[in-house]
Amino acid sequence: MQNKTRRYDIDWIRVIVFDLLIFYHVGMIFVEWGFHLKNDVIVDWIRWPMIFVNQWRLPILFVVSGIGTSYALSSRTGGAFALERFKRLFIPLVVGILIIVPPQVYLERIYNGADFSGFLDFYPSIFNTGAYPEGNFSWHHLWFLPYLFLMSIVFLWLRKEGNSFIVFLKNSIGRRGWLIYLFAIPLVLVDLFLEGDYPVTHALIGDWYALAWFFTLFVYGFMLVRLDDIFWATVEKLRHVSVAIGLIGLPSLVWLWYNLDPSFWIPIARQINCWAWILAIFGFASKYLNKSSNTLTNRNRAVYPFYILHQTIMMIMAYWLVDVDMHYGFKMVILVIGVFGFTWFLYEFVIRRVKLLHPLFGIK
- DSSP SS3 for 202: coil
If one counts every other C-beta atom within 10 angstroms of the C-beta of residue 203, the result is 15
Q: Which residues pair with 137 in a beta bridge?
A: 131
Instruction: For the chain, give the mean pLDDT.
Output: 93
If one counts every other C-beta atom within 10 angstroms of the C-beta of residue 62, the result is 23
Look up the pTM and report it: 0.94
Rg of the chain on CA atoms, in Å: 21
Contact 241, 279 (CB under 8 A): no
**Mean of pLDDT values over 328-349:** 97
Close Cβ partners of 81 (under 8 Å, ≥ 6 residues apart): 72, 73, 152, 156
Whether residue 238 sits in one domain with residue 220: yes
Whether residue 263 sits in one domain with residue 181: yes
Determine, yes or no, domain membership for 122: no
Whether residue 237 sits in one domain with residue 318: no
Given a cut of 90, whether residue 303 has pLDDT beyond it is yes
Whether residue 363 sits in one domain with residue 301: yes
Burial degree of 330 (CB within 10 A; 0-12, 13-18, 19+): exposed
Domain count, the chain: 2
pLDDT at 323: 96
Whether residue 144 sits in one domain with residue 222: yes
Report the first-to-last Cα separation within the chain, whole angstroms. Answer: 26
- Structural domain containing residue 313: 1-46+297-364
Share of the chain above pLDDT 90, in %: 84
Determine, yes or no, domain membership for 128: no
Contact 282, 235 (CB under 8 A): yes
Q: How far is CA 17 from the centre of its chain?
A: 7
Given a cut of 70, whether residue 234 has pLDDT beyond it is yes
Confidence of residue 168 (pLDDT cuts 50, 70, 90): confident
Whether residue 336 sits in one domain with residue 237: no
Whether residue 357 sits in one domain with residue 278: no
Whether residue 282 sits in one domain with residue 259: yes
Whether residue 284 sits in one domain with residue 309: no
Determine, yes or no, domain membership for 5: yes
Whether residue 152 sits in one domain with residue 277: yes
Whether residue 358 sits in one domain with residue 260: no
Contact 21, 92 (CB under 8 A): no
Domain boundary among 236, 267, 291: 291
Q: Among the listed ranges 3-12, 36-45, 105-114, 335-344, which one has the minimum average pLDDT value?
A: 3-12
Domain boundary among 291, 319, 341: 291
Domain boundary among 291, 316, 340: 291
Q: What is d(CA 261, CA 190) in angstroms, rounded to the nearest whole number?
A: 18
